[in-house]
Amino acid sequence: MPGDQDNKAAGDEPRPVILLAGAAHGIGRAMALQARQRGARLAICDIDQAGLQALTSELAMGEDALLLPVDITQAGSVADFVTAALARFGRIDAAICNAGGMISLVHDGLVTSNIRAFKDIPPADWKSIVDLNLYGALNLAHAVLPGMLSRGQGRIVFVSSVSGLVGGAGLSVYAAAKGGVIAFAKSLAREVSAAGVSVNSVAPGGVATRAFPAGSPSAERRVQSVAIGRLGLPDEIANVAIYLATDAPPYLTGEVISVSGGPP
């Protein structure tokens, strides 16, 4: 298989191949760096080309990392990305769908917040929020599953949100999409776990990324409702996702793990 000569690191440890969608910033970037520390080979996509460029330099992994600009909402582009990853590495051990967000990303460097009362969100925006946060997960799972099922092993991890579990004022459409991801993951786990593929979700609470810029009123407000008294760090969420993608026992499937500084 292509890439099989790279399967073993020094000490004969197998090197996992992790596919990661949405890694140029924030939580996904922390996942990429943690995965590299673990010796994984990486297939990474993101919509932000400049951010990918910066990550490529930071990872400095050469042929062990494939980084491609892909819009997760486009099923055909996601399928092409998975094909390219399989051509490079021969297999995908784990796929993490982190691409998503409460913000409308990034047109000419502009980031706008989607935290708005439902009555103020026009239908056209419902679609873009659901496309990104729910269809993105469906697109990625649909593209990676055939290879995992034919090998009889694989791990799929979705990044949802505590708002998908308990709701969030100002987050109605986003929360609906993230709740959909959790229900999708649980359903998929029922379909494919016996065939060797685990499917789980991580549900972050408020995390200090550009979604909650340090010192901003939204960050200050969010902290008020966190038991531990601060926002989460990207590394704290990444740690759980990388665990699910690598070391978690196969018996852990169909779960959602909330990482939110206290009960959601």
**Is 189 within 8 Å of 145 (Cβ atoms)?**
no
* Cα separation, 162 vs 152, whole angstroms: 31
Q: What is the CA radius of gyration of the chain?
A: 18
**Is 119 within 8 Å of 172 (Cβ atoms)?**
no
Among 34, 73, 139, 172, binds ligand NAD (CB under 6 A): 73
Among 35, 65, 99, 137, binds ligand NAD (CB under 6 A): 99
What minimum distance in Å lies between the beta carbon of 8 and ligand NAD? 31
What minimum distance in Å lies between the beta carbon of 126 and ligand NAD? 16
What minimum distance in Å lies between the beta carbon of 63 and ligand NAD? 23
CA distances from 49 to 70, 80, 85, 143, 162 (A): 9, 17, 18, 22, 29
* Cα separation, 179 vs 182, whole angstroms: 5
Q: Does 212 bind ligand NAD (CB under 6 A)?
A: yes
**Is 160 within 8 Å of 99 (Cβ atoms)?**
no
CA 93 to chain centre: 15
User: For this structure, is 174 an active site residue?
Assistant: yes
Interface map 14-53 toward ligand NAD (x if CB under 6 A)? -------xx-xxxxx-----------------xxx--x--
Among 32, 35, 156, 159, binds ligand NAD (CB under 6 A): 159
Pick between residue 10 and residue 110 the one whose CB is nearest to ligand NAD: 110
Residue numbers of the site for ligand NAD (CB under 6 A)? 21-22, 24-28, 46-48, 51, 70-73, 98-101, 105, 132, 159, 161, 204, 206-207, 209-212
Residues with active-site annotation? 174
